[in-house]
Amino acid sequence: MTATIQGTLTAMITPFRGGEVDYARLTANALFQIESGIDGLVPVGTTGESPTLSHEEHRLVIEKVVAAAKGAKRRVPVVAGTGSNATSEALELTRHAAHVGADAALMVNPYYNKPTQEGLYRHFMTVADAVALPIILYNIPGRTGVKMEPKTVARLAAHKNIVGVKEATGDLDVASEIAQLCDPAKFIILSGDDSLTLPLMSVGARGVISVLSNLVPQRVKALTEAVLRGDFAGARKVHLQLYPLCKAMFIETNPIPIKTAMSIAGMDTGELRLPMCEPTAATREVLVKALKDHGVTG
C-alpha cells in the first residue's frame, strides 16, 4: 500500500457537536473526500485536534475512517495519527491502528519533552521494531519544540517499516538534504505545508498531507497531479492560484481557520474543542474575503 501513498492526502478535521465527537459527520467527511478524488485520508493529526481526544475517541476516530475507506467504491489509504511524547503510548496507538486496518501510521516527533536526536531515533525504532505497519515520520518543530535532523531521518529510513516523512519544518534545505540522503524513489517525502507543496515536490516530495484539501480537495489534487505527471508549468499556475488561500488557513492556529472557512462555505464541521476556540472577528472577515476571492461557496 505504501506505493500508493502519494498525491494529496487530507489531514482530516475532527467534527465535534455538544462537546462530543460527531462520528456520523466524520464518516460523511471521509466519504466526501474520497468522492472528490482525494488520494488518502489522515485522521487524528494536528488538524484533527488529536491532543484534545481521549484515547477511546482517538481509537474510534481511526476505526470510523478506516471503515469508511474500506466501504467506499474507490479504496484510498488511511494513514492514522499515532504519535505521542510517551513511547509506550505511541506504541499502543500504533498497534491499535494496525489491528483495525490502517494502511500506515503518521508519528509526530515527541513533543514538550524535547528528546535528543538519539532519543528520537530510539523512540521511532522501538515502535517500528514492534509493529509491522508502515510508519511516516512527522517533523514539525513549530508544534513539538524539537526538530529531527536529516541525518536522523536517514538513520531511521534504513528500517523496513519506516517508509517516509511528513516534512513540516518550513525549510526547503531540510527537505533537500533528506532527498539527498534518502532515495526519494524508496523513501516517501510528503509536504506538511500547503504553501510549500510545489517547492518540496520540485526536490523529490511525492505529495502533501494537506489542510486546505478539507475545503477544496479537487483544487489541491490538481496541483499534485500536475507535478506527478511532470507538468510543472501547470502546477505553478495552480500553486499561485491557491497560495493566498493557503496562507489564509494559517492566520490563526490550525485548525481554527480551516474549520471556520469550511463552516462559512456551508460545510458542517461542528465545533472546535477547547483550548481551540472561535477566531476573532477580524480573522473571520479575512476568511470570508479569501473564500469570495477564490469562488468558494456552499
Give the Cβ contact number of residue 72 at 10 Å: 15
What's residue 2's pLDDT? 52
* Beta-carbon contacts of residue 267 (< 8 Å; ≥ 6 apart): 215, 298
In a domain, residue 252? The reply is: no
In a domain, residue 168? The reply is: yes
In a domain, residue 93? The reply is: yes
In a domain, residue 15? The reply is: yes
What's residue 238's pLDDT? 98
In a domain, residue 239? The reply is: no
- Give exposure, 195-214, as e/b (b: 16+ Cβ within 10 Å): bbbbebbebbbbbbbbbbbb
Q: How many domains does the chain have?
A: 1
In a domain, residue 257? The reply is: no
Supply the CATH number for residue 37's domain.
3.20.20.70
Catalytic one among 138, 221, 289, 292? 138
In a domain, residue 297? The reply is: no
pLDDT tens per residue across all 298 residues of the chain: 455 899 999 999 999 999 999 999 999 999 999 999 999 999 999 999 999 999 999 999 999 999 999 998 889 999 999 999 999 999 999 999 999 999 999 999 999 999 999 999 999 999 999 999 999 999 999 999 999 999 999 999 999 999 999 999 999 999 999 999 998 889 999 999 999 999 999 999 999 999 999 999 999 999 999 999 999 999 999 999 999 999 999 999 999 999 999 999 999 888 999 999 999 999 999 999 999 999 997 6
Domain around 49: 2-231
Q: Strand pairing of 20-21 and 16-17?
A: antiparallel
- Give exposure, 56-70, as e/b (b: 16+ Cβ within 10 Å): ebbbbbbbbbbebbe
Whole-number Å distance between alpha carbons of 73 and 49: 28
Report helix angle 87-100 to 55-71, nearest 10: 30
Give the Cβ contact number of residue 268 at 10 Å: 12
Catalytic one among 64, 166, 221, 259? 166
84 - beta bridge partners?
Answer: none
In a domain, residue 112? The reply is: yes
Q: Is 138 a catalytic residue?
A: yes
Give the Cβ contact number of residue 146 at 10 Å: 20
Q: Is 221 a catalytic residue?
A: no
Q: Which residue has the cell 488520494?
A: 39
Q: What's the first-to-final CA gap in the chain, in angstroms? A: 34
pLDDT single digits (tens) 143-187: 999 999 999 999 999 999 999 999 999 999 999 999 999 988 899
What's residue 298's pLDDT? 64
What's residue 169's pLDDT? 96
